[in-house]
Amino acid sequence: MALLFSLILAICTGPGLLDAHPSSHPFGGSSSSVRLVGGDHRCEGRVEVQQAGEWGTVCDDGWDKNDAAVVCRELGCGAVKRAISGTSYGPLTQENQKIFIQEFKCNGMEESLSQCEREDFFDCTHEEDAGAVCGFEENVRLVDGPKRCQGRVEVKHQGQWKTVCKASWSFAATKVVCRQLGCGRAMLTRKCCNKATQGQGPIWMRKASCSGKEISLQDCPSGVWERNNCTHDEDMWVECEDPFELQLVGGDSRCAGRLEVLHKGEWGTVCDDGWGEEADQVVCRQLGCGESLSPSAKFRRRFGPGVGRIWLDDVACSGEERSLEQCPHRFWGQHNCNHAEDVALVCAEQ
């Protein structure tokens, strides 16, 4: 059944998947697309990409949660759960099926695989096919905003995308939407919109009664909303923080070093006030590494102090967050620290 899944999303720019030589520029092609094959539903399985009407697999060289996260996002399948071997899924790949890509090098923030650096196939077997497990199919989205984490709220109900009326919405529901879409914390909820960004279709006639702690909007109790005289002048607009882009620097691998966060195009450090083992685990998971190895403070100092901006302070994670932006923290650039207090960590490599 999985092989009958329909083509999900066309990627329309850039050079083809089958460039004749290895390269590190973004791939694309007028007919390229991605799917997950062999899982229990369309949001898990072996990764396959298409070129010129032919489906091929992806080698798992360097394959991690950053790469899998992009696949999940492109397919509208929610947050990534795991980056795994595609051999976990049957039926097994036919030996004559091509392997198109040796390695993707995504940072996890891209909207599609076409935006990731890659190397074309040169040495791999189908025993090394890549796979992914995503959370669930999205039932909410933000549209017509300047960034993917800002926009008019739309909910998928009975197979149709519908706008949401201000009177049926709350800031708690906004928190849930930001979390579900893999964005940062909720920043703003307001009535939308000018004529250019108003919705055009049906309006969702239910009220979401969220506490703000749910993982997804479908976890919120909802009931029929008695008021039914809303217009698109009352469509809801939501703004979330952008997802954090992280790196560990100064270590021997990408899974060890001083933590840096990208904001407004500039890398900066994180102060260790309030930082704990739970935050270590969140960062290790977000970077696609293994568990935190909980090094001593003395060992952490070997990565040295940073320079420039200190972006975050008082980060307080529970350990359950999927990414660091979901942890409470001060606003960007607000701190009472110096670089002697920069966070560093060591994760197991996968």
- Reported as a single tens digit per residue, the pLDDT across 313-346 is 999 998 877 788 888 888 888 999 999 999 999 9
Choose between 96 and 234: higher pLDDT: 234
Q: What is the predicted pLDDT for the residue at 3?
A: 37
In the DSSP assignment, the letter for residue 86 is G
Task: For residue range 284-319, list pLDDT tens digits in order.
Answer: 888 878 888 988 888 988 999 999 999 999 999 988
CA distance 342 to 258: 7
Q: What is the predicted pLDDT for the residue at 30?
A: 31
Amino acid symbol at 294: S
Q: Which residues of 186-195 are buried (b: 16+ CB within 10 A; e: fewer)?
A: beebeebbee
- pLDDT score of 42 more than 80: no
From the centroid of its chain, how far is CA 4? 26
Q: What is the predicted pLDDT for the residue at 23?
A: 31
Instruction: Among 15-24, 182-191, 341-350, name the one with the lowest average pLDDT.
Output: 15-24
H or E stretch including 65? helix 65-74
Contact residues for 146 (Cβ-Cβ < 8 A; gap 6+)? none
Please name each of the domains of the chain with its CATH number.
33-135 (3.10.250.10), 140-239 (3.10.250.10), 245-346 (3.10.250.10)
Q: What is the predicted pLDDT for the residue at 323?
A: 80
Question: Mean per-residue pLDDT for 9-38?
Answer: 43
Question: Mean per-residue pLDDT for 120-138?
Answer: 82
Contact residues for 4 (Cβ-Cβ < 8 A; gap 6+)? none
CA distance 140 to 218: 9
The full 3-state SS of 107-172, as one line of letters, equals CCCCCCHHHCEEEECCCCCHHHEEEEEECCCCCEEEECCCCCCEEEEEEEECCEEEECEHHHCCHH
pTM over 0.75: no
- pLDDT score of 137 more than 70: no
The mean of the pLDDT values for the chain is: 80
CA distance 341 to 350: 28
Closest CA to 279 of 289, 288, 292: 292
Q: What is the predicted pLDDT for the residue at 306?
A: 92
Q: What is the predicted pLDDT for the residue at 277?
A: 93
Question: What does the block give as tokens for 324?
Answer: 């660091």
Straight-line distance from the first to the last Cα atom of the chain, in angstroms, rounded to the nearest whole number: 31
What is the chain's percent helix, strand, coil content, to nearest 5?
20, 30, 50
Choose between 156 and 153: higher pLDDT: 153
Q: What is the predicted pLDDT for the residue at 24?
A: 31
Question: Mean per-residue pLDDT for 25-46?
Answer: 64
Q: What is the predicted pLDDT for the residue at 328?
A: 87
Label the pairing between strands 150-157 and 160-163. Answer: antiparallel
Decide if 57 contacts 124 (C-beta within 8 A).
no
Q: What is the predicted pLDDT for the residue at 93?
A: 67
Decide if 90 contacts 46 (C-beta within 8 A).
no
Q: What is the predicted pLDDT for the residue at 86?
A: 76
Decide if 43 contacts 77 (C-beta within 8 A).
yes
CA distance 276 to 279: 5
Q: What is the predicted pLDDT for the residue at 32?
A: 38
Question: Mean per-residue pLDDT for 73-97?
Answer: 77
Q: What is the predicted pLDDT for the residue at 20?
A: 28
Task: For residue range 228-275, list pLDDT tens digits in order.
Answer: 678 888 888 999 988 788 899 999 898 999 999 988 888 999 999 999
Task: For residue range 198-212, list pLDDT tens digits in order.
Answer: 788 888 877 788 998
- pLDDT score of 16 more than 80: no
Choose between 225 and 181: higher pLDDT: 181
- pLDDT score of 175 more than 60: yes
Q: What is the predicted pLDDT for the residue at 337?
A: 93
